[in-house]
Structure 1
Amino acid sequence: MEKAMVSAPEVASDPVRERLLKAALDSFLSDEYHKVTTRLIAEKAEANISMIRYYFGNKEGLYEEMIRHTMAPLLDVLDGQMLQSVNGFEDFLLLYYQTMSKQPEFPKLILKVLALNQGPGRRFIQQLLERGRTNGVRKIDSLKSSGQANASLDPDIVRMAFVSLAMMPMLLKDIFEEQMGRTMDAEFLEQLAEFNGRIFSAGLALTRAE
């Protein structure tokens, strides 16, 4: 199966700011929050430490913006055209797998913040997820109105099922690859997105058994 890489719209960016975000992502993924210093991040980014204060205010502000920046392509899709039909869920899953496979430790970082309350940003991440929930409900309502989804579907159940299909392969990526004896490469992720997308699309049309 040949499928073009799914990507979000490109936006103009400041190169210094982008380097700081990249250095912050690498640093926070490889070490605990309290062990990462702004000086270390600035050195990795080849930038003056004052630029962190200029762009982000402080270390916590940089941490939160790093999370928002990484998740933005996924959240922005909910405002776009991709999920206007049930077929778009396959593309969204592929976008998620592609985004997270570039930084496989990122889903684990989010889980640590939310479940274990390690590091700052818990309220901030919850706000991002609530944005996803609100937009997701709107998309499901639209699919119901167009007859593409069953009118009796509970949007919270739909959301939980979708998050499970998206997150679990990335959270357990190392374990799955060890068990399978092969890597979850681009071709594997395309096939996984296609399969899970079809499962999810079929589930949207199901009528609840009485």
Structure 2
Amino acid sequence: MKEKEKISSKRRILDAAEEQFALCGFEGTTTRSISRNSGLNLSLIKYYFGSKNGLYESVIQSRIEDFQSTYTKFLLSKKKPDLNVFLTHYISWFSENGNFFRLVNREFCSPSDNEVKKLVSAAVLNHFLQMKTLIDTTSSSGQVNNTATVFLYLTIFGLLQAYVETSPVYTLASALQTDGKHDLEKIKEYLFALTKHTLIQ
């Protein structure tokens, strides 16, 4: 198998697995269903990932590395990054990877394995520390109050999590909006205003 075909096959399996794990959880997902949804032979899952556990961990690790790459490129692209520009990219990335965040939420609520929970917990903590670094970097004072940073991060993460999960409360609250703007546009406007307020405190 050619290298490009190999990468494409692995990505197809990872994407199909991520969707199934997010929808059905680890226990409720079978390698056969992943094989069927990816359109690839079952034997390729064992060949690339060894087992369902190996595939599950690879799905999580793949998205962690994806965010890390996006974050690193952004930080290196400018002397002083613009937080609003990053938030625009981040909101898009978050919404495009909704299955991953559903999976993360499942893992916290009902852990499939202690090692996997540790991996997810470490990823979320690292995610927060990266966001804190970015917030501090864009602050005119050089550092934002830790409490403000924590609540800002929780608001950003929680709001986007509610959006990708399409939670009943979020759906009901969103229905009260009458300006006709797309949900992501409203979220972006709100987060821009919130971060601006936080950074001048």
1:30 to 2:28 alignment: no
| Residues 39-58 of structure 1: pairs in structure 2 closer than 5 A | 39-58=32-51
Name which of 189, 199, 204 aligns with 2:199.
204
Partner of 1:164: 155
Do the aligned partners of residues 85 and 202 (structure 1) sit closer, same or farther apart at CA in structure 2, a change above 3 Å counting? farther
* 2:119 alignment counterpart: 124
Q: CA deviation at 1:26?
A: 1.8
Letter in 1 for 2:191: N
Task: Output the CA distance in 1 between the equivalents of 2:65 and 2:58.
Answer: 10
Structure 2 counterpart of 1:98, one-letter code: S
Does 1:18 pair with 2:23?
no
Answer yes or no: is 1:78 the counterpart of 2:71: yes
Q: Aligned partners of 1:140 and 1:100: how far apart in 2?
A: 18
Displacement of 1:137 in angstroms is: 4.5
For 1:99-123, what per-residue CA distance to the aligned partner results, in whole angstroms no more than 9, with x for missing partners?
A: 3434545433312212x23323211
- Note the aligned Cα RMSD (angstroms): 3.2
Question: Map of 1:52-131 to 2, 5 A cutoff?
Answer: 52-81=45-74, 85=80, 87-88=82-83, 90-102=84-96, 104-114=98-108, 116-120=109-113, 121-131=116-126
1:139 aligned partner, one-letter code: L
Q: Distance in 2 between matches of 1:142 and 1:93?
A: 14
CA shift, 1:52, in A, is 1.6
CA drift at 1:139: 3.4
- Give the letter aligned to residue 194 of structure 2: I
Q: Give the CA deviation at 1:161.
A: 2.0
Shift in alpha-carbon separation, 1:15–1:135, aligned structure 2, 3 A: same
Q: Which amino acid aligns with 1:129?
A: V
Structure 1 segments unaligned to the other structure (5+ residues)? 1-11
Letter in 2 for 1:40: S
> Residue 153 of structure 1 aligns with which residue?
145
Alignment gaps of 5+ in structure 2: none
Contact 1:136 1:159 in 2 (8 A): no
Q: Which moved more, 1:185-194 or 1:61-70?
A: 185-194
Per-residue deviation, 1:192? 1.9
- Checking the alignment, whether the CA contact within 8 Å between 1:84 and 1:142 is kept in structure 2 is no
- What TM-score do the two structures reach when normalised by structure 1? 0.71
Greater helix share, 1 or 2?
Answer: 2
Instruction: Report the count of equivalent residues.
Output: 188
Q: Contact 1:153–1:204 at 8 Å: present in 2 too?
A: no
Distance 2:56 2:188 in 1: 30
Give the corresponding residue for 2:187: 192
Q: 1:178 to 1:104 in 2, by over 3 A?
A: farther
Quick one: distance in 2 between partners of 1:182 and 1:69? 37
Greater Cα offset, 188-197 or 104-113:
104-113
TM-score (norm 2): 0.73
Segment of structure 1 superposing worse, 78-87 or 60-69: 78-87
| CA shift in 2, pair 1:64/1:164, >3 Å | farther
Q: Which residue of 1 aligns with 2:167?
A: 174
1:152 deviates by 5.9
